Amino acid sequence: MQQKKRQVFFSFHYDADVWRAGQIRNMGVVDNSSTFSDNDWEEVKKKSELAIKRWINSQMAMRSCLVLLIGEDTWTRNWVDYEIQKAYELKKGIVGIYVHKLKDENGNQSERGLNPLDLSFADDGEPLSKYVRTFDSRCVTSTYVYRDIEDNLSDLIEDAIEDAGTY
């Protein structure tokens, strides 16, 4: 039986990982309405901080899970932090997936970055990484990392949705 395709919100460092995010968005595992175009984000990021927050809030309200794509510098991004906190506040599922071993548009892999969930906190003061699962493929070659993520993504999302609000 094929699993239901979920509507998710992808959170990632746009400039560094848009190519990697595109690979995951195009796996066919999530509902197509989860995938806004790169042009959509280009337009949104030109707006005021309040307009960006409103856009994130409206997108997040329609989703059941935040899929945090963790690259080398994702932890440095303020909007990623905002998206994590918004998903937590709305009791959405949250799952982290390391994407540094996927090749970028130039064929390069990057270094493993810090987990942004180590820097976001639950109401009890514990880092969200204590409660939220992250996936880091044991494969090294980009092609195998891709397949590993593709094989596990549906289950990771379903588990995150099931765990939502329990932390």
Whether 78 maps to a domain, the answer reads: yes
Helices 49-61 and 78-89, interaxial angle, to 10°?
40
Looking at 37-51, 93-107, 119-133, which range is the least confident one? 37-51
Whether 3 maps to a domain, the answer reads: no
Mind listing the pLDDT tens digit for each residue in 135-146? 999 999 999 999
Strands across the sheet containing 8-11: 8-11, 65-70, 93-98, 134-135
How far apart (Å, rounded) are the C-alpha atoms in residues 41 and 158?
A: 26
How far apart (Å, rounded) are the C-alpha atoms in residues 94 and 163?
A: 8
Whether 149 maps to a domain, the answer reads: yes
> For the chain, how many structural domains are there in total?
1
Q: What pLDDT score was predicted for residue 20? A: 94
Expressed as residue numbers, the domain containing 72 is: 8-163
Report the CATH number that the domain containing residue 71 is assigned in CATH. Answer: 3.40.50
Nearest to 11 by CA among 111, 122, 117: 117
Strand partners, 65: 8, 93
Whether 25 maps to a domain, the answer reads: yes
Mind listing the pLDDT tens digit for each residue in 55-93? 899 989 989 999 999 999 999 999 999 999 999 999 999
Name residue 136's amino acid: D
Whether 112 maps to a domain, the answer reads: yes
Whether 2 maps to a domain, the answer reads: no
Q: Is 9 helix (H, G, I), strand (E, B) or coil?
A: strand
Is the per-residue pLDDT at 33 higher than 80? no
Q: What pLDDT score was predicted for residue 47? A: 78
